[in-house]
Structure 1
């Protein structure tokens, strides 16, 4: 394939995916800091003076009484606050309880919460299954744009990375072309990682949308979650619980997710599972990502790689900046396409 045809494909792929990735890039760069944003927003429900064991049993009974049968998850129970994420169909609530008394402090509509709303925009455009599939297709098209761009500029990528290629400002098109090439080259590897992991996640989201969950009616918990966590601490001292999901049906068990101290830093916490009997509180099973097959371990790193869930604040800042290169490349690519040299009518007649 000659460069002229390759440039044509590269341009069209970029134009098709451009509008999506202006939206995806900006929303994704903000979502990188969702933990920090939520911590700031939720700080008013935090009891900073409380340092003892939180009253999880009392608060769980109150939350389940208020939302019987709902899919109940405990996403935070340290740092002076307990936060529940409860879901039923399209409904979703954040329930905040006092760690000292277990009493409910606040009940918010999670669907209108800023980061939750932005995340839904990011993966579905708030358009249901149509939006989910659109994001998946846009991701694939953007990947094709990256691949064609890499092939097209393969001979100049190294020179660009080593600043041997100058940005010519003789006219606007040359100037934007230089910027497009520099930003595209420097962000290439990170954009490949973000787009590839994004496609995998978008596929999972679209697949889940095409296969709605069956009806459920979560049972009331009879056992002590506090005692179960203490039991985990004694029996599995190297395990750090981070997230708890209550059963959707009897016998399903309480699932405690978390990290093992010896895990590879890119492994997702949600691939480590300690299953607790919801009636007796004893440990039923332990699933470690480190002991899983290669494909499962590979799949485990997708979410941390996409959301920069490693390396702390410096990596998040880097990801946020790289996330903005997508919109930048889309805009400069559109300018280059708009200012492309146009053949005259006489030239076309001669060619025919």
Structure 2
């Protein structure tokens, strides 16, 4: 049974090696996506000051600056002095685009571009779908499941890991060194691999199911505004804090043909480390502005709260800089393990190939052929 498990572990790892290498490498980089954006494009992601205009003023300024676009989503900056992200679609299309807005002045810091236009957003798309749209989404879901299976099978195979955990046989052979380092990295990262694999698989499978039931995008083409432009949206933000005490809005979803209502996604200020910034929702009628529904993540069912914890657990931002560094470093280990696993497979294949070649040369038929040539 153990021999069979070794074989399955090896073949599953070999099958997942390349996509796992890409997913782990990009995921490790994306842990610090916000910090890297500050470094690579400060002119787009930094505001002129830490003050904010009212949301009503910001929305009207953006509408005036984008007469050919409809605003579909507004993501508030996580920190003072940073730019908000605005999601729009051009009239006559349903292609979502991204731009940055200075919340201290209401001015646009960039023009609308595709969601994967910027380098780090392109890396996010690569991480999430391998740039292969729905097919890539299914592949990354499968690789996430394989990461879970590899972590569990590796732990079973090395369940007495403490005996040789710190052993690295440097002077023996490359194969032994790779085997020791592969085992060490796997044991160190196994708990986090299980978390990343499970949350990644859950999200991707959920997304695939949602995409399966979505209407044809051609039927969602934006042709008009779908909410009352005279609404005082700042008042909606204030009302949300009364519905859910301490509620902070992090993202506003505006309506389109398939999505009625104005929905405020956020969280209570004292929500706890393992709750996402978007788990609580307060919804309003898009014409009258009347409260229509609300979901307080802290009072929701166990399954809802469990899924809500996926975002901080997957991104590693629940413990500040310390947890992000751990997630960045340990999240990169599958890339190293994919590489070491492939090299071990190559190292095992070479002796087998040489043995087969030698057996072929020394086979009776080849010996007879050689003798015949010698006599001739």
Of the candidates 113, 130, 135, which is equivalent to residue 130 of structure 1? 135
In structure 2, relative to structure 1, the CA distance for the partners of 1:185 and 1:167 (3 Å cut) is: farther
The whole-number CA distance in structure 2 between the counterparts of 1:81 and 1:244 is: 15
> Between Structure 1 and Structure 2, whose CA radius of gyration is higher?
2
Unaligned stretches of 5+ in structure 1?
A: none
Q: Determine the structure 1 residue equivalent to 2:10.
A: 11
Of the candidates 163, 170, 184, which is equivalent to residue 182 of structure 1? 184
SS of corresponding position for 2:352: coil
| Aligned residues of 2:49 and 2:81 also touching (Cα < 8 A) | no
In structure 2, relative to structure 1, the CA distance for the partners of 1:254 and 1:336 (3 Å cut) is: same
The two structures have a TM-score, normalised by structure 2, of 0.81
| Aligned residues of 1:160 and 1:182 also touching (Cα < 8 A) | no
The count of residues paired between Structure 1 and Structure 2 equals 343
Q: Determine the structure 1 residue equivalent to 2:25.
A: 26
The whole-number CA distance in structure 1 between the counterparts of 2:62 and 2:154 is: 53
Of the candidates 340, 345, 363, which is equivalent to residue 337 of structure 1? 345
State the Cα distance separating 1:121 from its structure 2 match.
Answer: 1.0
Q: Determine the structure 2 residue equivalent to 1:61.
A: 63
In structure 2, relative to structure 1, the CA distance for the partners of 1:140 and 1:26 (3 Å cut) is: same
Matched, 1:169 2:171: yes
Matched, 1:154 2:159: yes
Q: Determine the structure 1 residue equivalent to 2:260.
A: 252
Structure 1, residues 156-179: CA drift from partner, whole Å, max 9, x if none?
A: x23345x3x453531111111111
Of the candidates 99, 107, 120, which is equivalent to residue 95 of structure 1? 99
The whole-number CA distance in structure 1 between the counterparts of 2:94 and 2:15 is: 30
SS of corresponding position for 1:270: coil
Report runs of 4+ in structure 1 exceeding 4 Å deviation. Answer: 87-90, 233-237, 343-348
Question: C-alpha root-mean-square deviation of aligned residues, in Å?
Answer: 2.8
Unaligned stretches of 5+ in structure 2?
A: 361-376
Of the candidates 250, 256, 259, which is equivalent to residue 242 of structure 1? 250
| Aligned residues of 1:227 and 1:281 also touching (Cα < 8 A) | no
Structure 1, residues 47-88: CA drift from partner, whole Å, max 9, x if none?
A: 3336243432323433663313x6x11112553634312247
Matched, 1:219 2:192: no
Q: Which moved more, 1:4-13 or 1:247-256?
A: 247-256
Q: Which moved more, 1:260-269 or 1:116-125?
A: 260-269
Structure 1, residues 205-235: CA drift from partner, whole Å, max 9, x if none?
A: 3323433345334514330212322333466
Q: Determine the structure 2 residue equivalent to 1:197.
A: 199
